Amino acid sequence: MKELKSIYFLGIGGIGMSNLARYFLSKGKKVAGYDRTETQLTQNLEKEGCNIHYTDNIDLIPDSFKNKETTLIVYTPAMPADSAELNYFRGQEFTLQKRAQVLGEITKSSKALCCAGTHGKTTTSSMLAHILKQSHLGVNAFLGGILKNYGTNLLLDEKSDFTVIEADEYDRSFHWLHPYMALITSVDPDHLDIYGTEEEYLKSFEHFTSLIQPDGALVVKHNIKLAPKTDRTVKIYTYSIEKGDFRAENVKIGNGEIRFDFVTPKEVIKNIELGVPVKINIENAIGAMALAWLNGTTAEELRTSMATFGGAKRRFDILFKSDSIVLIDDYAHHPQELEASIKSVKELYAPKKVTGIFQPHLYSRTKDFAKEFAESLSLLDELILLDIYPAREKPIEGITSQIIFDNVTCLKTLCKKDELIGLLKQKNDIEVLLTIGAGDIDQMLGQIKDVLIEKTKK
């Protein structure tokens, strides 16, 4: 790594790729890259010193990044196989590495605390990073979301022994990591376009547990369907809201606050307050605090950090709140995530009407979980369902949002994305509006918020 002069990213606009780009910029390296779409994230990277273009064209690669002796190519597994730039670098025999490979190299010399799971890993790893940063331990962190407390997805501290990593299971990327301790939030099947079966998906997580370093620890959700394959010196702990080695007691929800006592194997830390007070965050907080506690954070550090945690953008993010209307944005894109998010909103804002705008993410995921999506979305009072966001995929014949829509049982509307703002302007019964999905729905949040503000003026 020290010998490298320049790093070129294929898919630089990804949330995980962007923190690596920031890391190399902080080390004085030249950084450039390609992404298909210009976003706020890529614009910020350009302001920070990255050279980015948005057309897959080898002529747009800066000359200073065409020396294979001094340039590393970092690519996302989501890059299409026929990418001109990807094939150029392969043909010229550059060194190419996936993001997780690079992370594995960077963190070999630190105590890597890796948070994995189908869902919950971004919030949990963000909480853990915030706890450690606010503690006497300090932290380096490579996260899958922008922490609102710091306005970034990268935290650096040269004096800290700890690195927090959001461990991504897509394309088995987390197999490149070297966890000192690991946490697994959930193993509900996902990415079946990669794994094929639920059994293979579980095997991937089991292999991940085998990578935990001797004398490390695994913190795993209570009752999870998983057979850890850890070294015999690795300690295994369980957690959940109500059961496990780490759990909550005396949970109090009301007046816009959530407080509980944090139970550990050796002590009970009383009166933990959640800075982002939604029920799904109780369990995320228990997992994050478990790893922090195992590494020596104090009771007072846990209390202070949890109360001041502002959350990650697009993770149950309250964007607008008035006496009559609330707008919440959430990255949920798996049926289990949707269920947890919708139930949390309905509990927090009962008895208000909850309207959801859902943008399905990926044709393959829609195909695999159409029934489950419909069941979760039916928990809403009203659904506005958008077209599928394809991301890296090409269309699959017969797979559209219609196959979800047909099985939804609540009040529902099928809507094109470019017709959404017009539809919202016509609606006069919006009380709580929840935007959900991992696609580009977030790029419309400014317009959606403006519509709701106008409604409060009437």
Predicted confidence (pLDDT) at residue 398 exceeds the cutoff of 80: yes
Predicted confidence (pLDDT) at residue 374 exceeds the cutoff of 70: yes
Predicted confidence (pLDDT) at residue 348 exceeds the cutoff of 90: no
Predicted confidence (pLDDT) at residue 198 exceeds the cutoff of 90: no
Rank 235-239, 324-328, 330-334, 443-447 by mean pLDDT and report only the highest: 235-239
pLDDT of residue 323: 87
Predicted confidence (pLDDT) at residue 392 exceeds the cutoff of 90: no
Torsion, CA 163, CA 165, CA 171, CA 172, rounded to 10: 60
pLDDT of residue 1: 67
Mean pLDDT of 234-241: 97
**Structure pTM?**
0.79
On whether the CB atoms of residues 237 and 218 are closer than 8 A, the answer is yes
Give residue 412's pLDDT band: very low, low, confident or very high (50, 70, 90). very high
CB atoms within 10 A of CB 289: 27
Report d(CA 71, CA 62) in Å as an integer: 11
Helical segments of 30-157, H only: 40-48, 84-91, 99-107, 121-134
Report d(CA 140, CA 130) in Å as an integer: 10
Predicted confidence (pLDDT) at residue 65 exceeds the cutoff of 90: yes
Q: What phi and psi, each to the nearest 5 degrees, are found at residue 50?
A: -85, 140
For each of the domains in the chain, give its residue range(s) and CATH number, in order of start.
Answer: 6-97 (3.40.50.720), 108-308 (3.40.1190.10), 317-456 (3.90.190.20)
- Tokens 């393959």 correspond to 364
Planar angle of CA 261, 283, 349, nearest 5 degrees? 90
Predicted confidence (pLDDT) at residue 279 exceeds the cutoff of 80: yes
Q: Exposed, middle or buried: residue 82 (CB in 10 Å: 0-12, 13-18, 19+)? A: exposed
pLDDT of residue 96: 96
- Which of helix, strand or coil describes residue 451? helix
Q: Where are the beta strands (DSSP E) in 131-212?
A: 140-147, 152-155, 162-166, 179-184
Predicted confidence (pLDDT) at residue 128 exceeds the cutoff of 90: yes
More confident residue, 122 or 288: 288
What would you report as the CA-atom Rg of the chain, rounded to the nearest whole angstrom? 22
Predicted confidence (pLDDT) at residue 401 exceeds the cutoff of 70: yes
